[in-house]
Copies of this chain bind each other. A is one copy, B any other.
Amino acid sequence: MSKRKNFSTKRMAILNTICSTDCHPSAKWVYNNLKEKYPDLSLGTVYRNISLFKEEGVVNAVANVNGEERIDGITEPHSHFICTKCGSIYDILNQELTALDSVLTDEGFHIESKSITYYGKCNKCS
């Protein structure tokens, strides 16, 4: 426990912001969201910390929507629905297991994660 890692105020605030929203934010969204509370926050710091979180596996990239990478603070396996009109990303919590998973493993692919993403129009947009 001698390592003092991941406990800077801003780092915690960034992680907390990501984990307490279900909007699957971009780096810029996190930055804008925290800018009021931390006026001297820099976008570079947000990017640096998101990179770190991804390495640690506490957040995951969901998809690139309109040129921006969107991230998810939920690490349990689940699926997503991305609206092609408004860009909203919805969590689909029923992740199904399929026979394909074991077929791939048998063929020598070493699966680290599986992502099921639906694209279409959400309730509000269709």
Contacts and interface: CB of A to CB of B under 8 A. Distances in A.
Interface of A: 63-64, 69, 79, 81, 84, 90, 92, 94, 96, 98-100, 103-104, 107-123, 126
Nearest to A64: B64
Contact of A116 (B63, B84, B116): B116
**Number of copies of this chain that the complex holds:** 2
Contacts of A108: 122-123, 126
Nearest to A81: B109
A92 B106 CA distance: 13
A63 B115 CA distance: 11
Given A64-B69, A69-B64, A109 B100 contact: no
A12 to B, nearest CB: 28
B100 A99 contact: no
A45 B121 CA distance: 30
Contact of A104 (B84, B92, B112): B92
Given A98-B96, A99-B96, A109 B118 contact: yes
